[in-house]
Structure 1
Amino acid sequence: MYRARKGRPGRAVATLLVTALATAPLAAQDAAALRVARADSLARAGRHADALALFDSVLAGDATRRDARLGRARTLAWAGHYDAAERAFADEVAVDSSAEALAGLARVAAWRGNWALGEARWRALVAREPGSVEGWTGLGQVLRWQGRLPEAQEAIERALALAPGDADATAQLAWVRRQRRPSLDARLSPGGDSDDNRALHGLVQVMFPVARQWRAGVAFSNRYTSLGTLDANGAQFVARGEWTAPGGRVSARADAGAQWQRASRPGLPDSSRAAPTMGATLIVRPSPWLSGGLGAGYRPLDDLAATIERGLRLATLEGEATARSTGGWRASVEGLAGWISRGSAPNRTWRLGAAAGRELGRRWEVGLRARTQAFDTTLADGYFSPEQFTVAEATVRLRPQPDRVVSVEGEAGLGWQWLDVGGSRTDDPVQRVSATLAWQPKPGQRYFITGSFSNVAALGTTEGNAGSYRALAFIAGLAVGL
């Protein structure tokens, strides 16, 4: 116990008072720091509501605490409150434009599925802070989510060059390397429609990394179709290659092989043909906001008997472009021109399409889509009926969650279709829905099943049954690293 010296009680009391006043702010700061650390621990444990309450309590006592403000913004993002997290990080950027706040903005954009905005923000961060390990790692992750693996590996290796052994960068590099290993993609898809037509489609594809920017492989597919009294079968074997330029602004893919087709009808001899199949596509990404592609192909038209018996082939030239905005908007256009190889007069086909959408909430996207396709042909058989069909629909999409062990995604459309058949036009409502359940037990392994329903008209749908046409299909598949 402190004892005041005799005759000087006032000085002792004054000394105690001064000491208490001097140490009180330090004690309060230590207590606040402990509460911030506790809130951060709660957030990392998934107790987001408790963490936010504790952060708010700290900020109520001292709104200038930057660690509490950033911790609160991070917790909002982890909890999926992306709009609130975006505002919180933007407020921090307005105050001091710190690298941590810029990284938070980039992470929010990527997590909410706006990968173009996330990529742009990560690139802006590493341009300003070339030594940011977090920036290069985040850029690598968002590139990986877009499937741009060579670019992703380059970015993550930059992070590890700055900080060898960094846990986050090491984990991201492991994901990329597993996805760049030799891979097997296999799927089986049965389907049918209300006209008692049946189809079974199978695919097996193996791809190998052959150089840093190159992948190559082979694919075999087989499609069996039963159309009433008509049975058709088409098998295809192709070699495929993919190339990505350093920096990822340009990529290309090509395939070449052969297709064998066979058709049979009761009372008629079987018909069979073999034909080459080939195609190439060039993809350009001048910025995270804009991408486009141009492709050309020469293939058998289809595996239906009407085309097998005539040996029809289709040469195509097609293109597409997609633009995105910082506000989560997306717009795309696509077109195709094709020339059919047989017939005494010009036989052409063309297709045009456009779509626009905007993210809505955490994983949802709503939009509008329209497309039209037509045949200008003298080949008079049921396969080319309707001569033109147009579909316009409103869509809603549930986006997938990358890196989740179990994820669900889906899409639905509701609209109208117009069909031109023999000079007359009919119109009918359309509905379309599909859903996918995926299981990814570890990086580089994905198993999935997809179900879809549609009454959108297809080639071969005639005027008489367009309004009652229904199609149902399933796909079960896997994509694994070898």
Structure 2
Amino acid sequence: MTRAFAGHFLPLFFVAALTLGGCDKQNLDMLASLSPPSNSRDASQQSPTKTLYLTIVEGLIEQGRYRAALGYLDQYAVEEKRTPRFNMLRGEALLGVERYDEAAQSFSDLVGTDLEAAGLNGLGRVDAAREHWAEAELNFGKAVAARPSSADFLNNLGFAQLHLGETMLPKAEFNLRQAQEIDPSSSSIRNNLVLILMMEGKEDDARRVLDSIAVPRERAAVQKFAADWIEARHMPAAE
């Protein structure tokens, strides 16, 4: 699976669906100078420290430093309660180091919380990383049902559906077109839509989407990637 099209299946993406904050050296230095909050501190005193820890972790995940993120999460867990945000970030980091069973457990722990939709999307991404596409499609479908306006979830659902055979292509196209209407600026959604349209043999529609790419080199690269992807999987475009 290639990043240009897989978009939010991988933790890079995140993402799953997360919008991860940045992390600079100053923040890391600040974290190093902090002591773990003691039980004697009240909630208002603990909150900035907890927020800082998890914000640092988000930055590390965005940089692809998953092992470092797990180190900070382990340190955080020594003193702090495992909140839904903690479990979500831990799932992302574990997915990044291919510890799939543990990642699935962290995402499963989000069911019944306000981050349930993100947890279902995370479970789908674990399935996708294992190339268990039927299970991925099921979990992404649940994520979309929980948050129908998420372009990322719709994108992931469409990408899973295109792996399930020709009969699923119309559903994949519908979900990707809906995702694009919600987030017209997403190159991942656009590229996946080009791929679907080429697989369906809808050359004129695919050309219209490709023509929306302003940079000729990028436009050619997207078209070539889609063609190569289809050929590599012995999935000829529909007549």
Common topology (TM > 0.5)? yes
Shift of 1:35: 1.6
Question: Unaligned 5+ residue runs, structure 2?
Answer: 1-39, 206-221
2:176·2:193 contact (CA, 8 Å) conserved in 1? Answer: no
SS state at 1:63 partner? coil
Counterpart amino acid of residue 190 in structure 2:
L
CA 97–51 in structure 1, closer or farther in 2 if over 3 Å, else same? closer
Q: Which residue of 2 aligns with 1:32?
A: 50
Q: Could you list the per-position Cα deviations for residues 378-433 of structure 1 after superposition, in whole angstroms to 9, with x for gaps in the alignment?
A: xxxxxxxxxxxxxxxxxxxxxxxxxxxxxxxxxxxxxxxxxxxxxxxxxxxxxxxx
Letter in 2 for 1:153: E
Q: For residues 169-204 of structure 1, give each alpha carbon's deviation from its aligned partner in whole angstroms, at most 9, with x where no partner exists.
A: x413323314534x8xxxxxxxxxxxxxxxxxxxxx
Provide the rounded CA distance (Å) in 2 between the counterparts of 1:149 and 1:86.
27
Gaps (5+ residues) in structure 1? Answer: 1-21, 184-206, 213-439, 451-476
- The residue that corresponds to 1:154 in the other structure is 174
Higher strand share: 1
**1:76 paired residue number:** 94
In the alignment, is residue 175 of structure 1 matched against residue 192 of structure 2?
Answer: yes
User: Once the 2 structures are TM-superposed, how far is the Cα of residue 59 of structure 1 from its aligned partner?
Assistant: 2.1
SS at match of 2:228: strand
2:136 corresponds to 1:118: yes
Q: Kindly, what percent of the aligned residue pairs are identical?
A: 22
> What displacement does 1:166 show?
5.2
SS of residue in 2 equivalent to 1:93: coil
Residue in 1 that maps onto 2:159:
141
Structure with the greater alpha carbon radius of gyration: 1
2:194 partner SS: helix
Is the 2:158–2:172 contact (alpha carbons within 8 Å) kept by the matching residues of 1?
A: yes
Deviation of the 1:117 alpha carbon: 0.6
Give the conservation status (yes or no) of the 8 Å contact 1:48–1:75.
yes
Secondary structure of 2:102's aligned partner? helix
Aligned counterparts of 1:124 and 1:62: Cα–Cα separation in 2:
30
Q: What is the one-letter code of the residue matched to 1:125?
A: A
CA distance in 2, matches of 1:37, 1:445: 40
- The code of the aligned residue for 1:131 comes to S
Which residue in the other structure is 2:183 paired with?
164
Q: Structure 1 111/49 Cα, relative in aligned 2: closer, same or farther at 3 Å?
A: same
TM-score using structure 1 length:
0.32
Query: What is aligned with 1:105?
Result: 123
Cα distance in 2 between the residues matched to 1:97 and 1:134: 15
- Cα deviation for residue 96 of structure 1 reads 6.1
Task: Indicate the residue corresponding to 2:84 in structure 1.
Answer: 66
Paired residues, what number?
176
Contact 1:74–1:85 (Cα < 8 Å) also in 2: yes
- In structure 2, what is the Cα distance between the partners aligned to 1:54 and 1:116? 34
Q: Quick check: 2:173–2:197 contact (8 Å CA) kept in 1?
A: no
Aligned-pair CA distance for 1:36: 0.9
1:139 deviation in Å? Answer: 0.4
**So what's the TM-score if we normalise by structure 2?**
0.61
Over 3 Å counting, the alpha-carbon distance change for 1:209 and 1:157 in structure 2 is closer
Task: Write out the 4+ residue segments of structure 1 that deviate beyond 4 Å after TM superposition.
Answer: 94-97
Of the structure 1 ranges 147-156 and 85-94, higher mean CA displacement relative to structure 2 is found in 147-156
CA deviation vs aligned residue, 1:197-254 (integer Å, no higher than 9, x gap): xxxxxxxxxx943688xxxxxxxxxxxxxxxxxxxxxxxxxxxxxxxxxxxxxxxxxx
Partner of 2:149: 131
Cα separation, 2, equivalents of 1:23 and 1:166: 45
CA distance in 2, matches of 1:164, 1:441: 21
The answer to whether 1:209 aligns with 2:202 is yes
Structure with bigger helix share is: 2
Report the counterpart of residue 444 of structure 1 in structure 2. 226
Cα offset, 1:111, TM superposition: 1.7
DSSP-derived class of the 2:109 partner: helix
SS across alignment from 1:92:
coil
Matches within 5 A, 1:334-345: none
Alignment CA distance shift 1:211-1:120 (3 Å): farther
1:209-228 aligned at under 5 Å gives the runs: 209=202
Contact persistence 1:42–1:51 (CA under 8 A): yes
**Kept in 2: contact 1:140–1:151 (CA 8 A):** yes
**Per-residue displacement from partner, 1:86-114 (whole Å, max 9, x unpaired)?**
11112221556711111111221122111
Q: CA deviation at 1:66?
A: 2.1
Instruction: Pick the aligned partner of 1:53 from 65, 71, 81.
Output: 71
Instruction: After TM superposition, give the deviation of residue 50 of structure 1 in Å.
Output: 0.7
* Greater RCO, CA 8 A, separation 6+: 2
CA contact (8 A) 2:144 2:150 kept: yes
Which amino acid in 1 is paired with 2:122?
G
Structure-2 separation of matches of 1:96 and 1:29: 19
Label 1:445 to 1:209 Cα distance change in 2 as closer, same or farther (>3 A): closer
Amino acid at match of 1:165: P
Structure 1: distance between partners of 2:61 and 2:115: 24
